[in-house]
Amino acid sequence: MEMTDLLAMAPPCILPAECEQTLAENGLTLTTADLAMLGQARTEALRESGRVELGETILPALAEALAPSPYVSRTDLAQTLADLQAIFYELKTAGERWIDRALLTQMMNYFNGAAGGSVRQCADLCLMRLREEA
């Protein structure tokens, strides 16, 4: 079985009700089209980072962590999530020892702090931290 076959069988991106509620509490929402785009972006990001994700996805945790950020708005939520999702998988591959929760916390600390809402800078800072810890 090729990994692409596995990815094709991965469940679609669905947000649990509590995640939708967190977004709503912060004045944010994701449309069906947004979720479809995020699903496609996820497949692409997993392929590029050489990873497989079959059961739960990281998207709900990412969306909940991002919801209170001052650097996200209703208009760019989906794209920011897609970008953060991509660097999340990239960073997981670079630092396999980081568990999801720790990496998410680290990413959001940089995103909301030193990176000032820049996804790329957030990724660079996380990578620097990874190298320091290596």
Partner 1 sequence: MSEIIQTGGGGAQAALPAILVRLLAEQLHRLTRGESTSVPAQTAEEVLSSLCFILGLNEDPAGDNRRALLAAPDKSAWLDDRVAALRRRVRSARRLFLAVRDLLPGPRCRALADTMRSLDAFGRAYDPRFAAHLVPCDMDYQLVEMPPEHLQGVDYVHAWLRALLMETDLLRRFPETAVTAALHRLSPDWRAELMGLYSPVADMALGLCLLGEDPRPLCITPAQQAALCHMLARNDESTLRQRLAGASAGCCAALGVQQRETAAYLGRYAETVALRLAVGETRGVFHL
Distances (CA, A) of 39 to 1, 11, 105: 21, 9, 23
Q: What minimum distance in Å lies between the beta carbon of 14 and partner 1?
A: 14
Return the number of the residue (24 or 102) whose C-beta is nearest partner 1.
102
Identify the residue among 22, 38, 39, 53 touching partner 1 (CB under 8 A): 53
CB environment 88-108: b (16+ within 10 A), e (fewer)? bbbbbebbeebeeeebbebbb
Sorted by sequence, the CB contacts under 8 Å of residue 99 that are 6+ apart come out as none
Among 102, 53, 61, CA closest to 84: 61
Q: Applying CB under 8 A, does 6 fall inside the site for partner 1?
A: yes
- Check residue 96 for interaction with partner 1 (CB under 8 A): yes
Among 58, 66, 81, 122, binds partner 1 (CB under 8 A): 58
Identify the residue among 35, 37, 51, 117 touching partner 1 (CB under 8 A). 51
Stretch that binds partner 1, among 13-21, 63-71, 94-102, 106-114 (CB under 8 A): 94-102
